[in-house]
Amino acid sequence: MVTVSPALVRKFIEDSSLLRRVYEFLESDEEVQSLVDMSNIMAVGRLRYNDHGVIHSRIVSGSSLEIFDLLLKAKLKPTSLEFGITRSVEESMVIVLAAAYLHDIGNAVHRVNHEFIGSLLAKDIVDRMLSDTMPYVEGRRRRMIRQEILHAIYATETNTQALTVEAGVVKVADGTDMAEGRARIPYKLGKINMHSVSAISIKKVEILNGNGRPVVIEVTMDNFAGLFQIEAVLRPKILTTGIADYFDIVAKVGDREIKVYP
């Protein structure tokens, strides 16, 4: 069992020099960080929504890799590996990490259609990233890996069907960043309504290995208002992942547990 947090990504980059190079590129690249900062200015500063900045990028990166790791242990094969686009699980993890980190940069232009915008903005960034961190990958395969990353960014939109395991993982992970008011339904800061009340009721999100389905997302909350976030964000995202049968969602309030999904 692990808690969803900005520190979770460290668990994976410490064990992989390739993932570490990718993460360090994303954390230090001026264009990436400018887009992430601008996304937060648009979301928080102008729309008065909840956080969509670098902390969210780090949280979704760690959550994505944790979910992906559990699915790998359950013998689910990465789609990119199945189709010969990547040649190792580690390369498939690069797709997950990069898409997770970059998935919200489209907010730097506008909240509307930000997933589509983000997939376009990410193209040149991903080209530079792969050239810098995976120089051994030849041009054609490198471009195919790039497209897998762009697909995963685009497919984070709730109603868009994810066509790869990697994209489905990032999509679910995006919805796990909801503890302590970090809900993924945009809600107006300072405004008391169902969105904000449900957001602040969620205290902790944990990811653990299940006995039946391999991934359990456990959401601890002060009261059942937090169910609104699960039903409105996390559950719909899971339904369009293509890997919905691999997840359980459990809500905990005090000593009570409720299976919310399936």
Domain residue limits at 99: 2-261
pLDDT at 6: 96
pLDDT tens, residue by residue, 77-103: 999 999 999 999 999 999 999 999 999
pLDDT tens, residue by residue, 4-41: 999 999 999 999 999 999 999 999 999 999 999 999 99
Please state, rounded to an integer, the average pLDDT across all residues of the chain.
93
pLDDT tens, residue by residue, 225-247: 889 889 988 999 999 999 999 99
234-237: long-range contacts, CB 8 A cutoff, minimum separation 24: 234/172, 234/175, 234/176, 234/178, 234/184, 234/261, 235/260, 235/261, 236/158, 236/159, 237/156, 237/158, 237/171, 237/172, 237/174, 237/175
Per-residue pLDDT at 171 exceeds 90: yes
The number of folded domains in the chain is: 1
Percent of the chain scored above 90 by pLDDT?
82
Burial degree of 95 (CB within 10 A; 0-12, 13-18, 19+): buried
Nearest-Å Rg of the Cα atoms of the chain is 17
pLDDT at 54: 96
Overall average pLDDT of the 219-223 stretch? 93
Per-residue pLDDT at 188 exceeds 70: no
pLDDT tens, residue by residue, 59-84: 999 999 999 999 999 999 999 999 99
pLDDT tens, residue by residue, 151-163: 999 999 999 999 9
